[in-house]
Amino acid sequence: GAVVSQHPSRVICKSGTSVKIECRSLDFQATTMFWYRQFPKQSLMLMATSNEGSKATYEQGVEKDKFLINHASLTLSTLTVTSAHPEDSSFYICSASGPHGNYGYTFGSGTRLTVV
């Protein structure tokens, strides 16, 4: 149980375009999803917390207008990187948590974004 799927696994896009990343909980209802970013040889940094049906909470320093998060259902959250630039190239990874924290800490497979 507690499987989290993330898509796409890799994406290359041109500078100025937008990219959408999906995170799905396959066998449980994810009331909360977290989006992390990981630069090469660095740790995972929390970008935002999204609760189903409400606005995401962004960490300090993360531009909410650039990283749009939607958590419209209990099994799907999306992260859209708008007007991507080369400095946005990174490994983006989600995690999902169920009610009362059940199944928390399960990570998606990650998305390697390269902006050229």
Binding site for another protein (CB under 8 A): 32, 34, 42-46, 49, 91, 93, 95-97, 100-101, 104-110, 112
Please, are residues 19 and 87 in contact by the beta-carbon 8 Å criterion?
Answer: no
Q: Which helix (H) or strand (E) holds 41?
A: none
Q: What is the four-CA torsion angle of 85, 109, 8, 91, rounded to 10 degrees?
A: 10
Rounded to an integer, what is the distance from CA 36 to the centroid of its chain?
A: 6
Name which of 82 and 107 has its Cβ closer to another protein: 107
Name which of 10 and 17 has its Cβ closer to another protein: 10
Minimum CB distance to another protein, residue 24 (Å)? 14
Whole-angstrom distance, CA of residue 13 vs CA of residue 7: 15
Which region holds residue 27: left if phi is over 0, alpha if psi is between -120 and 50, else beta?
Answer: alpha
Minimum CB distance to another protein, residue 30 (Å)? 9
Minimum CB distance to another protein, residue 98 (Å)? 9
Name which of 46 and 82 has its Cβ closer to another protein: 46
Name which of 78 and 97 has its Cβ closer to another protein: 97
Minimum CB distance to another protein, residue 65 (Å)? 22
